[in-house]
Amino acid sequence: MLSSGAALLLATGLLVPLAAPAAADPGSACDAVGADVVSAESDLPSRPLQLLGVPRATELLEQRGITPGEGVGVAVIDSGVAPAARERMDVVAPRSWASGDHDSAHGTTVAGLVAGRPREDGKPIGVAPGARIVDLRVYTAPDDSDTGGIPSGEVVSALRWLARNAADLEVGVAVMAFDLGGDAPGLKRAVRRLVAADVVVVGAGGNRVDGTGEPAPPGEDARGTVYPAAYDEEVLAVGATGTGFTDDASTSVLLNSDIDVAVPTHQAVSVARNGRACYVEGVATSWAAGLAAGVVALARSAHPDLDAAQIQARLIRTADGSPEAQTRATGAGVLQPVEALTRRSGGDDDGDGLVHADSGAGRAEAPTDPVDPVAGVLADARWWGLLGGGLLVVALVLRPLLARRRS
C-alpha cells in the first residue's frame, strides 16, 4: 500500500515503481479517453522526429517506393493498445495475458510512437507508420502483481508465444518499454528464443525514481539491474536525452553502462486512448524505446536482406558517438536513422565497416607517385656515372705519384 505522499508522487509522474514501465504514464493529454482531449492535431511537429532526421529518412524510403516500416511487424509487449487508438495504426493479432480493461495508456503511447499514422494535417506521429503493431498485452496497470510491478510470468508467456509465431506474423522488432526490476525466471531464455527467431529486441534503459531533479550521484551505474535491458548481447538497450545530443544526460534517466544507444523524447507526438494525437512530455526511456523500435522498423524495411544482429550492429555503428567509447548516458550515441538507411557495408557481414553509400570507396589512402617505366634505368645510369667520375678523380690524383716512382 503506497503512502499518501508516495501516491501523490506517483500520480504526478515523479515516482516510478522499480518493477514498472520505465516511464510514468503520459500526461493527461495522452491518457484521456473523452472527446475533449487537448490534442496536437494542428500544433507543432514531433520534436524528436525532427531531431532524429526522420522526415529525411522517410523521404529516402518513399523515393524507393517503400512506406516507412513496410513489411515489418513490431510487437509491443505492454499494457495493450486502446480500441479507439487502433484506428490510428495498423494493429494485428491482439492478444492478452492480463485480465481487466485497458487501465493504462502506456502501451497505446508506445505503439503510437512506433507506428502512429500521420495527423489530419499530414504531420507525422509515429516513426514507421507503415509497420504493423502486434499488440501483446501483459498488464493493465503497473501494480498488476502482488509485488507492485509488471507480472514477469505474463511477460515470459507472451515472449514464448511471439517466438513461435514471429515468422508467420513477420515480426522483425519487439519492444519492452519497462523494467521488470530483476532477472525473472525464464526471461532470458525467452528473449534468446525471440532473437533466434530473427527479432530485434528493444528494451528501456531505466529511469531514476527519486523525483528530486538533482544530477545523478557520482559514479551512478545501473548496469545489471534493469531488465530486460541488462541482457547485453540479446537486447538493444535504449537511453533517453532531452536535446538529441550525445553529451546530454537527463536527471530523470539512470546512468547505465548497459545502454547501447539513445534518442530524444521531449515533446514527442503519440496517440491518446481516444485515438487523437497527443504530446508526450518529459525525458523517459519508455518513450525512447518506442521511438527506437520505430527506427529499427525503418532499417528493416530498407534492408530486408539483413538479419537481426546485422540491423542492431548497423544502428549502433551509425549512432553519432562511438561503440568503442560508450557512455553511461547514451551508449554509442544518439540514433541516426538517415545514416542507418544510407550507408552500405564495407564488406563485413556483421554491420561493421560501413561507408557512405554515395562515396563509392572505402577508407581514403594517401596518394602515391606515378610509376615511371624508365626511372630505374635513369637511376642506374646516375650511379654508374658517379662511380666513373670517382675513379677518374682517383686516377688524376695518383698519376703524379706513379710518375715520380717510375723516374
Point out the least confidently predicted range of 189-193, 208-212, 380-384: 380-384
What's the pLDDT at 89?
96
Sort strands 200-204 and 235-241 into parallel, antiparallel or unpaired: parallel
pLDDT at 24 > cutoff 80: no
Confidence class for position 148, pLDDT limits 50, 70, 90: very low
Confidence class for position 198, pLDDT limits 50, 70, 90: very high
The residue with greater pLDDT, 104 or 20, is 104
Sorted by where each begins, the domain ranges of the chain are 12-355, 374-407
What's the pLDDT at 150?
85
The one-letter code for the residue type at 244 is G
Neighbours of 145 (CB within 10 A): 14
Average pLDDT in the 158-169 region? 98
What's the pLDDT at 401?
53
Question: Around 15, how many Cα atoms within 13 Å sit in the side-chain half-sphere?
Answer: 11
Average pLDDT in the 130-152 region? 78
State what percent of residues in the chain have pLDDT above 70. 67
What's the pLDDT at 240?
93
pLDDT at 253 > cutoff 90: no
Confidence class for position 245, pLDDT limits 50, 70, 90: low
Point out the least confidently predicted range of 153-162, 209-218, 289-298: 209-218
pLDDT at 3 > cutoff 70: no
What's the pLDDT at 25?
42
Confidence class for position 15, pLDDT limits 50, 70, 90: very low
**Taking a C-beta distance cutoff of 8 angstroms, is the pair 223, 30 a contact?**
no
For domain 12-355, the CATH superfamily is: Peptidase S8/S53 domain (3.40.50.200)
Confidence class for position 252, pLDDT limits 50, 70, 90: confident
Q: Most confidently modeled of 138-147, 282-291, 320-329?
A: 282-291
pTM for the whole structure: 0.78
Confidence class for position 153, pLDDT limits 50, 70, 90: very high
What's the pLDDT at 217?
76
Sort strands 73-78 and 132-137 into parallel, antiparallel or unpaired: parallel
The residue with greater pLDDT, 27 or 114, is 114
Closest CA relative to residue 23, chosen from 286, 238, 268: 286
Is residue 74 within a helix (H) or strand (E), and if so which, with residue range?
strand 73-78
What's the pLDDT at 371?
43
What's the pLDDT at 34?
47
Neighbours of 250 (CB within 10 A): 25
- Separation of first and last alpha carbons in the chain: 128
State what percent of residues in the chain have pLDDT above 90. 52
pLDDT at 81 > cutoff 90: yes
The residue with greater pLDDT, 396 or 293, is 293
What's the pLDDT at 363?
27
The residue with greater pLDDT, 349 or 68, is 68
Closest CA relative to residue 99, chosen from 145, 32, 133: 145
What's the pLDDT at 154?
94
Q: What are the tens digits of pLDDT across the range 264-315?
A: 998 899 998 888 898 887 889 999 999 999 999 999 999 999 999 999 999 9
Using a 10 angstrom Cβ sphere, with 0-12 exposed, 13-18 middle and 19 or more buried, the burial of residue 370 is exposed
What's the pLDDT at 142?
60
